[in-house]
Amino acid sequence: MGTSASHLSKEQLSEYQELTFLTKQDILHAYQLFKQLLSNDLHDFQNTRVPMERICQMPELKANPFRERICRVFSTSLEKDGSMSFEDFLDLFSVFSDSATPEIKSHYAFRIFDFDDDGTLDKEDLKKLVNYLTDGTANSQLTEAEMNQLINNILEESDIDKDGTVNLSEFQHVISRSPDFVSSFKIVL
């Protein structure tokens, strides 16, 4: 293990392995990435937080249009600033790993897409989701009519109880019919 695990005991590694979908090597690699994101030396990794801006610049997230939402969903910061502790960081990599279950992946995808954090995907959440996926630039932006038609189509397909929103179970039902979703919902360590 050498210096790469100087702040991680065998007990901590074992505990992290039990609590995540990560291997010992994945955890050690995540620890190295976390250390690189800090501007100062990592003495007390359990109480140190990395600012969201640094996490968003990681190659694994930099091109992801949802990078800030991802940080906010996985952050346990009381200020809700998207900063991450080492354990938040491990949770992020665990959920996006190949070993995470489809239920876990769809649960977190739902949380990421629920921009207003109200437990449902309403028309505004879906509009933001479409804009994120299409880059929201003038060249790719849908007209208001096209956007409304697309959102109505999404709700027609997904809103089983016809309440005008998509809840977690409806979202998971749709995702269960899309096997490509699980394989594309990952970050490579």
Q: Which CATH architecture has domain 10-95?
A: Orthogonal Bundle (1.10)
pTM for this predicted structure: 0.88
Enumerate residue ranges in the chain where pLDDT < 70: 1-6, 39-46, 136-140, 182-183, 186-189
Q: pLDDT tens, 7-30?
A: 789 999 999 999 999 999 999 999
Superfamily (CATH) of domain 102-184: EF-hand (1.10.238.10)
Q: How far apart are CA 168 and CA 119, in angstroms?
A: 7
What is the SS3 assignment for 178?
Answer: coil
- Helix (H, G, I), strand (E, B), or coil: what is residue 106? helix
Which residue has tokens 């996985």? 74
* Domain ranges across the chain: 10-95, 102-184
Q: Is 178 left (phi over 0), alpha (psi -120 to 50) or beta?
A: beta
Closest CA to 185 of 116, 111, 115, 119: 111
Q: Which residues contact 4 (CB under 8 A, 6 or more apart)?
A: 28, 31, 32
